[in-house]
Structure 1
């Protein structure tokens, strides 16, 4: 992954502006006042504005804060993650998100986690006791699922606090990218309806968790309402993690569309080498953001996928086993419906996780590639042709891929491969169950 440092980007931008000024002087010839006056007023105003924007520095937090619309839109999501004690990152100063083990947010997260650990262990002990004593197949599988649903609580320090510093760097880099976007395009990056979407999703995640657990306490015997206390923050966290990935993927998709639109407009107006060079570095910065997304959350979503995979396999197996054992396969009990709902719920989360990444990667390079290939090389100079070639090579050398630190690529292929693997495990488990049933009948 190519990392664009602030100094390197500022140097490239300054060099591009200088090269554009030299091209202008070359067209005018000697600095004659009459010739200067004949220059296109709109072009001169654009160059003046570019020079003014070039003075903005990414190291200046106040400059970044003005254009960091993405943080303002999804601030509620970050707040909810702090309340759940999952990701204790803070806006430590303008334009910068940071993590510290000594911060108030981290102290609260540790305290909240310790208190909830007591509750989880107490209720988990009762669920394990049911797992040991019950002989009913439905109760046994449900006990396994409820114990599995408690496990995400214990990996929070590893997948949440352990990667908080990397997440903070990733979130801060969004502010830097948005300032760079403004400096090159002259427009601030906007995310239409993102804030409203986050409010709806956040409320929906909380309500879905409450409704899911409340219905379980009604339909299932031996699952009192007070047992749900240990699960509220876990189910909400699972929902919010899926929402967080969707929001980040959607933001990258929006940024890709905006970059492609501005690039097309600028190139159609003036196809200079300096313009293409600036957009090439801006696109590399966007590609870096996409790859940083997977690297920052690698631990979180690797364990997330494993959790969903295990839940889907167990729930589908239990539902199939119960349906096969019935004389009337069309009569479905509440417990069997619970297995089906659990499988659909986890499958939905896995689908959203894979699909939104796939959609984001499709548009990262598509728009700028179309613009580059549509340029008539006969009407541009040699420098511009060289920059076009460099841009195309940069796109080929930096493919739009979301990778969890190389362990797995997050796209629709992950979804299909997961379905294939789950199907194989289900066939093995069902065949094993049939073998046990036949062995029991022969003994009898």
Structure 2
């Protein structure tokens, strides 16, 4: 009920605004309420695919034990989850209170409708980070065990077993993107929209009033930095995980002296290298986007284009001679 009440108030404020810049500024508070309405579509609808992804982790750990002879360890994982969960809540509170203090028209009582949704947005980023960290740890452990076992005995059977294990890990990476494709596609769209509006609002204030840096501008910059940081974490941890999946085993394969092993082992090494080349470690959101650092450059380019269009539209608007000057 609180969300509906605040949402109604924000929409009424939006409808009463006539000035373009103020309208864009007011949209920010409505945009933050939008995630409430996509949760049933992007969350509940993909539960089956998420279950498949989680189950695949169990199968991978069993195979990992059979191949390496040891359990896959995730050190300090529980402590990390607790710390990140508390941090997500505290960041949401700090973020909303700072916006309330800095941005005009954002009442303290209205923040009650935003705490849980900002926390959820933070937790989505944290969930992705933990999943990517899990894959990164698994990749590092697999690489270390592979290097150790190759030094002991480099045989065709050993290379073959590790090849299938690596393919399982690569499949996990693909399942991660497929399972959460809806969630993080909308997550990226939300971040792009928010950053674009906030940056435009700040630039518009600078164009109108110069580099005065009012509370409003600082609040818009806080919003921009906050959303940009979440987007960077999302893209960067994916990039590091995908890089780790292939690099470790590939480095070990390339250090093997081909002349010192028999013909079947040479063939298995070739098959392993071909498998790495034909199954690149990529996190794809069902083809909508590949999650890596290139996503950041694409986002910057797209946001820059929209900002140019909005600023051109602003410049083309007739000046309001009766508008008050702060």
Does the alignment reach a TM-score above 0.5? yes
CA–CA distance in 2 between the matches of 1:340 and 1:428? 20
User: Per-residue CA shift, 1:240-260, capped at 9, x if unaligned?
Assistant: 111111111111111111101
Partner residue of 1:254 out of 128, 134, 137: 137
Map residues 387-406 of structure 1 onto 2, 5 A cutoff.
Answer: 387-406=268-287
Q: Aligned to 1:190, which of 63, 73, 79?
A: 73
Secondary structure of the residue aligned to 1:365 is: helix
Q: CA deviation at 1:221?
A: 4.5
CA contact (8 A) 2:98 2:219 kept: no
Query: Which of the numbers 407, 412, 431 marks the counterpart of 2:293?
Result: 412
The verdict on how the C-alpha distance between 1:182 and 1:252 changes in structure 2, with shifts beyond 3 A counting, is same
Report the CA distance between 1:225 and its aligned residue: 2.5
Matches within 5 A, 1:204-353: 204-326=87-209, 329-353=210-234
Q: Decide which of 373, 380, 383 is 2:261's aligned counterpart.
A: 380
CA contact (8 A) 1:138 1:335 kept: no
Verify the 8 A CA contact 1:276 1:388 in the aligned structure 2.
yes
Q: Which residue of 2 aligns with 1:170?
A: 53
Give the alignment's TM-score, normalised by structure 1.
0.70
TM-score using structure 2 length: 0.94
Report runs of 4+ in structure 1 exceeding 4 Å deviation. Answer: 135-139, 438-441
Equivalent in the alignment of 2:30: 147
8 A contact 2:65–2:71 mirrored in 1: yes
- CA drift of 1:438 comes to 6.4
Distance apart, 1:324 and its partner CA: 1.0
Partner of 1:367: 248
Deviation of the 1:142 alpha carbon? 3.6
Once residues 17 and 319 of structure 2 are traced to their aligned partners in structure 1, the CA distance between those partners, rounded to angstroms, is: 23
Aligned-pair distance for 1:429? 1.1
Distance in structure 2 (CA, Å) of the matches to 1:241 and 1:341:
20
- 118-127 or 409-418, larger mean C-alpha shift: 118-127
Cα distance in 1 for partners of 2:100, 2:301 equals 33
Cα offsets for 1:20-78 (capped at 9, x unmatched):
xxxxxxxxxxxxxxxxxxxxxxxxxxxxxxxxxxxxxxxxxxxxxxxxxxxxxxxxxxx
Q: Is the 8 Å Cα contact of residues 202 and 240 (structure 1) preserved in structure 2? A: yes
CA contact (8 A) 1:361 1:402 kept: yes
Match in the other structure for 2:82: 199
CA RMSD after TM alignment:
1.8
1:159 aligns with 2:39: no
Q: Partners of 1:331 and 1:291 in 2: how far apart?
A: 48
> What is the Cα deviation at residue 212 of structure 1?
1.8
Q: Which has the larger radius of gyration?
A: 1
Distance in 2 between residues matched to 1:240 and 1:218, nearest whole Å: 24
Instruction: Tell whether 2:9 aligns with 1:126.
Output: yes
Q: Secondary structure at the match of 2:211?
A: coil
Write the distance in 2 (CA, Å) between the matches of 1:125 and 1:214.
21
Q: How far apart, in 1, do the equivalents of 2:306 and 2:321 lie?
A: 23
Specify the SS of the correspondent of 2:288: coil
* Residue 138 of structure 1, CA deviation: 6.4
Q: Structure 2: any 5+ residue segments left out of the alignment?
A: none
Deviation at 1:143, TM superposition (A): 2.1
Which secondary structure does the structure 2 equivalent of 1:344 belong to? Answer: helix
CA–CA separation in structure 1 for the residues paired with 2:219 and 2:19: 16
Q: Using the alignment, how far apart are the partners of 2:188 and 2:22 within structure 1?
A: 25
